[in-house]
Amino acid sequence: MAKTATKAAPKEEKPKAQPTKAESAIAAKLEALYRLQHLDSMADKIRTQRGELPLEVQDLEDEVAGLETRVNKLAEDLKQAETAVSDKQNFIKDAKASIKKYEAQQSKVRNNREYDSLGKEIEFQNLEIQLAEKRIKEGKLAIETKSAAVEESKNLYKERKKDLDLKKKELDDIIAETEKEEKELMKKSAAAAKEVEDRLFKAYQRIRGNARNGLAVVPVERGSCGGCFNAIPPQRQLDIASHKKILVCEHCGRILVDESIVEAVTAGKH
């Protein structure tokens, strides 16, 4: 007589352990942090599109301001040099007029002492004229040099001003394209920041400020830190996923989140 086959009873699936209140609280904190990071990263991406333009504009503004100051200073020096030459030319006219007066007086003197005295005055005026002519020669050379410097600086100023106007227009065009989106992201970021407790927000700002790419909160990707890409031990990965406490990368100090936190934020909850 054949034995009747006994059907094995199906194994009962163990119900998934529900997260404790503490674990839910930590998960909520991590979500808030990653949501803030997600928004800030999107804003960073927009700013990256501008590239080095803001710095280039700032550098050109500084250079143009410096050139403007230089042009004004050279123009002032040129004006002073021209005034000095003009003063010396007027001095020569006055000196020659004095010489004529002294020569006329010499013809009317009564004695040799007066004649010699006038002769000394004439000699002194002639020496003053020679010195003034020397200063005029030097002054004209200075005017020539300063005029060339002024012209060169003015041309350079015009070139740099033109470059600045082009760069500013380029930057303004990019800002106009992204300004609305950036403002909306900044508004959302400010709102998200209020959902993060003060202690964690300060830590977030500190880490973000020290990170070259602005990432303070990163996911675990393929067993590695999403910030510095160093491997994370399996047990630590389990600890991160358990949401029992907030953990940071042992290598770069960034706050680490697991895939469930990333999905919760990127699924539309931001």
**Nearest to 37, CA basis, from 179, 176, 200, 175:** 200
Phi, psi of 149 (to 5 degrees): -65, -40
- Domain ranges in the chain with CATH number 1.10.287.1490: 51-189
pTM: 0.54
Instruction: Tell me the pLDDT of the chain (270 aa) as tens digits.
Output: 444 445 555 555 555 567 788 889 999 999 999 999 999 999 998 888 777 888 899 999 999 999 999 999 999 999 999 999 999 999 999 999 999 999 999 888 888 898 999 899 999 999 999 999 999 999 999 999 999 999 999 999 999 999 999 999 988 988 888 888 989 999 999 999 999 999 999 999 999 999 989 999 999 999 999 999 999 999 999 999 999 999 999 999 999 999 999 999 988 654
d(CA 102, CA 120): 10
Name the amino acid, one letter, at 84.
A
Topology (CATH) of 51-189: Helix Hairpins (1.10.287)
- Strands 217-221 and 255-257, sheet pairing: parallel
254, 228 in Cβ contact below 8 A?
yes
181, 193 in Cβ contact below 8 A?
no
